[in-house]
Structure 1
Amino acid sequence: MEHPRTKPALFGQIALELGFLSQEELEEVLKYQQKLQSLGYSEFFGDICLKLGYLTKSQVDQIIQYQRNTTPTPSLTYGQIGLQNGFFTPQQLQECIELQKKSPTYAPIGHYLLKKNYITPENHQAILKALSRASSPSLPPKTVQLTKTSPSELNQLYGRVALEYGMVTPQQLDEFFYKKAPDAQKFKKLEDYLLAKNYITTGDHHFIIKTIEKRKISEKYTQRQNELKNIHYGKGWGKQLTVQWIQEQLSLGETKTSKSKTNLTEAEIHSRLLFLKIKQMFSPNVFRIVAPLSQGGTAVVYRAIYRQTGQEVAIKILPSYEVSKDVLPRDMLQDQAREKRFQREKLILQKIHHPNIVQILDAGEVQDFSYYVMELLEGLTLDRIIWKAKYLEERYALEITLSIALALEHIWKLSVFHRDVKPDNILILPNGNIKLLDFGLAKHHPPTSKKQITPENLILGTPSYMAPEQSGLLKNFDPDIRSDIYSLGITLFYMLAGHPPYSHPSPLSLMMMHLEEEIPSIRQKRPEISHQTESILQKMLAKHPDYRYQTPSELINDLKKALAFFLKERTQSP
């Protein structure tokens, strides 16, 4: 029997109709698949969507089930119900299907019928309700986590998109916003109300969420591009100015945290509840949990105190699914390899002792929690510093690069590479010291076990800083320390230019740029940058790993030579 995922057009069409993919995402995945095929790879369409995070496993399974049962696509089913009830003619339906195919962006078939006035909003809702009754149980609604978006703003965005695509009527939105319906009072989220009233289907809901997320990303990208146009290059921040600003910010941070916040979002309330649960469970043990420090995709970090010595530390905790299901992203929590990756990170850090890498002090288990204890580091990430400084002076950028290269040299001696070197994982301390953070994706090379934690060819990392082989676009090349050198090269470019060399709102397009686009010249932006630094950058950013520095030690030698030039220049100046 033919594997269902060998039918990309049908698979993609169903994903479109269910609102799981947009038209742009479908086209990008097809382009990516074609590129892989030209390189000699054979990848199923659904697997590509899964690995790139465009679809969840449950969404892929649902689409496959549609294919196996040869179920008609939702647009066809919508059309059949409308035709059976005489809401529109076959000619009108066919005309709208053609419009949908030609459109550069996806919209449900009802949108086109409403736009052409071939159907009334009331008939549209009747069809959707009939579809909802006839369909098998579908995915639970996807929860949306949009940073810096209040619940009221999210409801407004949600309603605007639903109305724009003809999924709801103004009257139905008024029921929720003006509480015109008796049962509207008990709903805080518009999405919950519309789903409960069967005004929208689950497929409509997924499409609305996707549209909101894409618009947020596009707005952020446009805003950043406009900021870059206004950069006027000069000397840039050096070490002294950077350290001074870090000290000021940390001092201000202490003042801010002393004031308690009263208006908490739903996510913040859940985070505080998780903090209280963890604090209570750790109370009889050797640590006293004091305050939250950060929260990642799968784990949380808290400030803590050793009870016996009074030493302040940071403790990274992997809470169980039941305890943290309302706080951490559901997709991450359901990742079967989540705990194995955490344990691998812990084991790797226990072997590492280097001044430029965060130091692990202890590790253990408490009830349903795995944890490890690190030195408490207070400082600011390189990403935050560049946000303020815009860019750094050449010498200081090289010094930071050298510190991270020394860290990479140390872990490579242990056959470990990081896989996520980027400004957000580089911390500058108030005394000027530099630390490489977050070994959550770190891996042994070659692997210490035949059984892999990460599924084969799964793309892990940050697209803006990812080497071509890390995204799977270089055949017969697995990521290794040279991939980290590439990521560090992107970071060096970022420090000097104020932005990465490649930029695009689509992760897929961004990964293709890393493979195909020419390496930009930093001297075109800042002519005062030395030829030696430009040469180092070009070698770090070579597309093919064989043409890069083969080890961190090679890179360190060239960085030291470049820095020696600045030292010589200073001693010769009057």
Structure 2
Amino acid sequence: MAPGSVPLLNTRAMALNRLRDFSEGFRDAAAAIGLQPQSAAGYVNRAHSESGLDRRGEMLEDLRRAAELDPKFREKYEAAVRLPEDSDTALLFDDLVGAGGAAAAAEAPARRSLPLWPFALAGLLLVGFGVFSSPGIRERTTQFFSRAPADVRSAPAAEPGAPPSAFWGRYEVRREIAEGGMGVVYEAFDRGLERRVAVKKMRDEIRLNRRERERFLNEARTVAKLHHPNIVEIYSIEEDGDDAYLVFEYVEGRTLHEIIQEQGRLSLAPVKHVFLGVCSALEYAHGQGVVHRDLKPANIMVDKNGAVKVMDFGVARQAADAAGNHNQTNTVIGTLPYMAPEQEEGVVRREADIYALGVCLYEALSGDLPFKGSPGAALLSKRDAKYAPLGRSIGGLPEAVDRLIGRALQPDPEQRIHSAREFFQELDHAPNS
């Protein structure tokens, strides 16, 4: 086999996974997919690596893709979807030497049947003798691994033997943008309206659960009613057979998270500009009775013209607090470092978004989070409001900013700033230098 060939990469990935070297197995599987996006074995091997790396969501998505490319992997994918979240997913891959070897053999140029054991043995020998220590092969592997997920993962494909999807007949898929707890997001082109859009396809573990599917669609309908210049707009909610899709505004730009990662921390003036848009979006949403529940820098987009858009209201919830009552839910949704203490206990109220605003402001100005450590330790620190004030580490930062953050991060929501409008007013009054 030639250096960098798909069967060679898949055989080595399979062997590395069997040796529990999941990071290296992931690299080789990703490289195989980069060379041949239709490699079902590559997706299965990468799913095995992701299982070992405790990346369940990505594992399920890769198994889904493998099942679309080769029906013999559908049973494995369906078994994965049925597994409880706390189950050991490694059990799914006990037979992978046979499955991976068979798939790798199918991708080789020769069409005649071959016994499976040589492929497993070859993989172990490749590992043992360090064939991939060759600079040329390793460089090629690293190049594919270092690409963004959108370049490695392929657009969704119709299941083999199934009729063409009516939904994807109206949209041209360009690339995968992101993947989250609720679904996979693609950049697409709306053929009818001739415009770029973003499409979120509901995850299979949600699609196959009737209650979760209805929750997903009901919350999407709630968000679709929001129309504001600082909120990414949902154009339509569409169902195609068992699948459900959200079609929404495509924003070309960078997230606040990406900007912070690039610059380390931001000065106060540009932060004010970003938070003006964010606070405007939240003030409007709260006025409509909608709580975001997952506000964080990764969900704040700054487009190429500097306009600010809050996105991923997909976990938003209608708040029943018009008369002072608050929703209690059995489903805790959000991102832990940005979640208010009461939100971690399942209480949904608008002050949780204000708390997340405070965490986002702290991170934007410092490049760091106020509460770190294990989830339990971070929750204790939140309840005691134990964090390092920014004035201690950032010279020249107005005291008013620390006071604002302190009010936003109050453990008791009744003592917290109660509106996004008030939050921005206090921020705006702080001198820039």
Scaled by the length of structure 2, the TM-score of the pair is 0.61
Q: CA offset at residue 406 of structure 1?
A: 1.1
CA RMSD of aligned residues (A): 4.0
Which residue in 2 is equivalent to 1:142?
A: 89
Give distance in 2, aligned partners of 1:264 and 1:396: 31
Tell me whether 1:306 sits opposite 2:190 in the alignment: yes
Give distance in 2, aligned partners of 1:401 and 1:140: 41
Is the 1:279–1:289 contact (alpha carbons within 8 Å) kept by the matching residues of 2?
no
Is the 1:466–1:511 contact (alpha carbons within 8 Å) kept by the matching residues of 2?
no
Is the 1:282–1:289 contact (alpha carbons within 8 Å) kept by the matching residues of 2?
no
Is the 2:336–2:375 contact (alpha carbons within 8 Å) kept by the matching residues of 1?
yes
Is the 1:470–1:478 contact (alpha carbons within 8 Å) kept by the matching residues of 2?
yes
Which residue in 2 is equivalent to 1:397?
A: 271
- Alpha-carbon deviations, 1:334-361, whole Å to 9, x = none? 6554312321332122110111110112
**Which of 353, 365, 369 lines up with 1:484 in the alignment?**
353
Tell me whether 1:525 sits opposite 2:409 in the alignment: no
Which residue in 2 is equivalent to 1:242?
A: none
Aligned residue identity for 1:343:
L
Tell me whether 1:463 sits opposite 2:336 in the alignment: yes
Larger Rg, first or second structure (1 or 2): 1
**Which of 537, 543, 547 lines up with 2:411 in the alignment?**
543
Which residue in 1 is equivalent to 2:239?
A: 365
Aligned residue identity for 2:416:
R
Structure 1 456/354 Cα, relative in aligned 2: closer, same or farther at 3 Å? closer
Aligned residue identity for 2:382:
H
> What SS class does the counterpart of residue 409 from structure 1 fall into?
helix
**Which of 552, 557, 568 lines up with 2:425 in the alignment?**
557
Is the 2:221–2:237 contact (alpha carbons within 8 Å) kept by the matching residues of 1?
no
1:433-444 correspondence to structure 2 within 5 Å? 433-444=307-318
- Alpha-carbon deviations, 1:366-408, whole Å to 9, x = none? 2222112111111111111111100000122222222211111
Which residue in 2 is equivalent to 1:386?
A: 260
Aligned residue identity for 1:537:
I
Give distance in 2, aligned partners of 1:188 and 1:433: 54
Is the 2:382–2:411 contact (alpha carbons within 8 Å) kept by the matching residues of 1?
yes
Tell me whether 1:318 sits opposite 2:265 in the alignment: no
Give distance in 2, aligned partners of 1:316 and 1:271: 15
Which residue in 1 is equivalent to 2:173?
A: 289
Q: CA offset at residue 500 of structure 1?
A: 0.6
**Which of 491, 498, 520 lines up with 2:367 in the alignment?**
498
Structure 1 263/543 Cα, relative in aligned 2: closer, same or farther at 3 Å? closer
> What SS class does the counterpart of residue 248 from structure 2 fall into?
strand
> What SS class does the counterpart of residue 435 from structure 1 fall into?
strand
Which residue in 1 is equivalent to 2:154?
A: 272
Aligned residue identity for 2:156:
L
Give distance in 2, aligned partners of 1:187 and 1:425: 46
Give distance in 2, aligned partners of 1:521 and 1:262: 42
Q: CA offset at residue 333 of structure 1?
A: 6.5
> What SS class does the counterpart of residue 274 from structure 1 fall into?
coil
Is the 1:397–1:495 contact (alpha carbons within 8 Å) kept by the matching residues of 2?
yes
Which residue in 2 is equivalent to 1:104?
A: none
Give distance in 1, aligned partners of 2:351 and 2:362: 17
Q: CA offset at residue 561 of structure 1?
A: 2.5
Is the 2:155–2:174 contact (alpha carbons within 8 Å) kept by the matching residues of 1?
no
Give distance in 2, aligned partners of 1:275 and 1:514: 45
1:209-288 correspondence to structure 2 within 5 Å? 272=154, 274-275=156-157, 277=159, 280-282=164-166, 285-288=169-172
Structure 1 runs not aligned, ≥5 long: 1-52, 56-138, 146-150, 152-181, 191-260, 322-329, 570-574
Structure 1 386/143 Cα, relative in aligned 2: closer, same or farther at 3 Å? farther
Structure 2 runs not aligned, ≥5 long: 1-53, 57-85, 97-115, 125-142
1:63-82 correspondence to structure 2 within 5 Å? none
Q: CA offset at residue 455 of structure 1?
A: 8.6
Aligned residue identity for 2:154:
R
Q: CA offset at residue 285 of structure 1?
A: 4.0
1:4-83 correspondence to structure 2 within 5 Å? none
Give distance in 1, aligned partners of 2:398 and 2:158: 53
Scaled by the length of structure 1, the TM-score of the pair is 0.47
Q: CA offset at residue 268 of structure 1?
A: 9.1
Give distance in 1, aligned partners of 2:343 and 2:253: 30
Give distance in 1, aligned partners of 2:221 and 2:369: 32
Give distance in 2, aligned partners of 1:188 and 1:379: 46
- Alpha-carbon deviations, 1:40-86, whole Å to 9, x = none? xxxxxxxxxxxxx9x9xxxxxxxxxxxxxxxxxxxxxxxxxxxxxxx
Tell me whether 1:509 sits opposite 2:377 in the alignment: yes
The alignment covers a number of residue pairs equal to: 306
Aligned residue identity for 1:386:
I
Q: CA offset at residue 287 of structure 1?
A: 2.5
Is the 2:232–2:311 contact (alpha carbons within 8 Å) kept by the matching residues of 1?
yes
